[in-house]
């Protein structure tokens, strides 16, 4: 059984995951309207990942006998200044999410909830991968100054990303 504190924090994380999903879907829409179909695809896959993360938290709360409390999702940004700016904002956001996951882990430790610690370790590891992947793309974009043939090739590569629900693996 979850403690009330752990349940409350996990519910806040569901909200954060859904906000993240909307954030990335908004980026996808923006990039699509800017003719960057690869970037739009990459962000749409990111959206799908965030939805699967939210559902993993949702299922965990139910499995542990808790109650899911879905809250309103705050508005997300709608415009950026090109692909470099998008990936800078993505990196900042993923770093923020890492902090949220670390906070959850701290709560699990304080509550002596070993099951939650085990569950959250997957997210700790996932965030290392998220930040690293975004940093790599950002570094590449900066190398080509976000324009020209380099941008074309990077956008093409971003279009190859496909959604794999890693929460089910």
CATH 1.20.1260.10 fits 4-70+79-163, yes or no: yes
Q: What would the two tokens of residue 131 be?
A: 């930040």
The confidence score (pLDDT) of residue 169 equals 65
Nearest to 23 by CA among 47, 42, 4: 47
The confidence score (pLDDT) of residue 168 equals 77
pTM score, two decimals?
A: 0.95
| Domains of the chain, residue spans | 4-70+79-163
The confidence score (pLDDT) of residue 82 equals 92
Q: What is the pLDDT along the chain (169 residues), one digit of tens a residue?
A: 899 999 999 999 999 999 999 999 999 999 999 999 999 999 999 999 999 999 999 999 999 999 999 999 999 999 999 999 999 999 999 999 999 999 999 999 999 999 999 999 999 999 999 999 999 999 999 999 999 999 999 999 999 999 998 887 6
The confidence score (pLDDT) of residue 167 equals 82
Question: What's the burial of 92, exposed, middle or buried (CB within 10 Å: 0-12/13-18/19+)?
Answer: exposed
Q: What is the distance between the alpha carbons of residues 94 and 81, in angstroms, rounded to a whole number? A: 19
Nearest to 96 by CA among 165, 5, 17, 14: 17
pLDDT digit string, tens, across residues 39-60: 999 999 999 999 999 999 999 9
């Amino acid at each position: 059984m979850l403690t009330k504190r752990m349940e409350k924090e996990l519910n806040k994380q569901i909200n954060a995951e859904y906000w993240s999903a909307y954030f990335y879907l908004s980026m996808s829409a923006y990039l699509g309207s800017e003719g960057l179909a690869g970037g739009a695809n990459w962000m749409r896959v990111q959206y799908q990942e965030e939805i699967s993360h939210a559902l993993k938290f949702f299922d965990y709360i139910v499995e542990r006998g808790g109650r899911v409390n879905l809250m309103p999702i705050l508005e997300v940004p709608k415009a950026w200044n090109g692909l470099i700016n998008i990936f800078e904002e993505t990196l900042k956001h993923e770093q923020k999410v890492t902090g949220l996951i670390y906070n959850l882990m701290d709560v699990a430790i304080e509550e002596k909830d070993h099951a939650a610690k085990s569950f959250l370790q997957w997210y700790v590891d996932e965030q290392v991968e998220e930040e690293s992947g975004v940093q790599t793309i950002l570094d590449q974009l900066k190398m080509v100054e976000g324009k020209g043939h380099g941008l074309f090739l990077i956008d093409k590569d971003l279009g190859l990303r496909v959604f794999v629900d890693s929460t089910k693996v």
